[in-house]
Amino acid sequence: MSEEPAPLQGPAPSLRGVGGSGVLPLVTFDLFSALIDSRTGGSRALGRIAAAHGWDVAGEDLFDRWDAANKASQRDVPEWISFAEHSRRALAAAYAALGLTGDADADVAVLLGSVGTWPLWPDVETGLPLVAQRYPVGVLSNVDDGVFAHSRVAPLVDDVAVLTSERLRAYKPARELYLRARERAGGALVHVATSGRDVRGALAAGIDVVRLRRPGHRLDPDGPQPTTEADDLPGVLAALDRGSGRAT
């Protein structure tokens, strides 16, 4: 039985500017591309799972297959289901494609339980708090609350500004997720995206985007292209300041 979409819960994040009365946009970051090196962390976890099973398969191969199947499931399943369930189905599909016999239910619990060990990109631990000194900062991510809570990003962001798929009852790249996020932000939202899927979805929904370049992520050549890009979080902050007229 599918789960009925729940109404948005909790107060919208405060958008009052730091040290002033002007309203600033909520600046949301993608979790598993912009802030966390998910391929490195997830590949390590899946490599350990494969070794425990005695499989001759690389963790990177397992991760790439699982990640692709997970994103396809999020895109194609019409009813809302949890990220954990998408992940379980995707891992089962990856096992089947490789001819592996494993317990996807047990293994996905191990995989998602390892999220707290997945590394931040090197500029995040110091760079994200710098952005938060000047702008309200949040996360917009295709995850469940519990998965986010165990990530290394959780201590860096106020919970009220964490906009997960569980809270918004939609998944990227669906238009509804971005529009619900903007509603929660009180109508003023800038999204910092890295993957081509996220950039395309946000721009198609009419959301302002700063594209943060990260290794291994490319833009969709057939989709809308961002007008603002940055190589790191200090570059994102500079772009935000230029866009808001706060550049010094």
Provide the residue-wise pLDDT of the chain in tens; the chain has 248 residues. 333 434 444 444 433 332 233 568 999 999 999 999 999 999 999 999 999 999 999 999 999 999 999 999 999 998 999 999 999 999 999 999 999 999 999 999 999 999 999 999 999 999 999 999 999 999 999 999 999 999 999 999 999 999 999 999 999 999 999 999 999 999 999 999 999 999 999 999 999 999 999 999 999 888 889 999 999 999 999 999 998 877 65
Domain boundary among 51, 84, 117: 117
Radius of gyration of the chain (CA): 18
Same domain, 224 and 126: yes
| CA atoms of 170 and 47, how far apart (whole Å) | 30
Which of 39, 48, 57, 52 minimizes the C-alpha distance to 95? 57
Residue 67 sits in a domain whose CATH number is: 1.10.150
**Token pair of 77, please?**
């399943």
Same domain, 99 and 126: no
- The whole-model pTM stands at 0.90
* Cβ 62 vs Cβ 147: under 8 Å: no
Which residue range forms the structural domain that includes residue 50?
A: 38-117
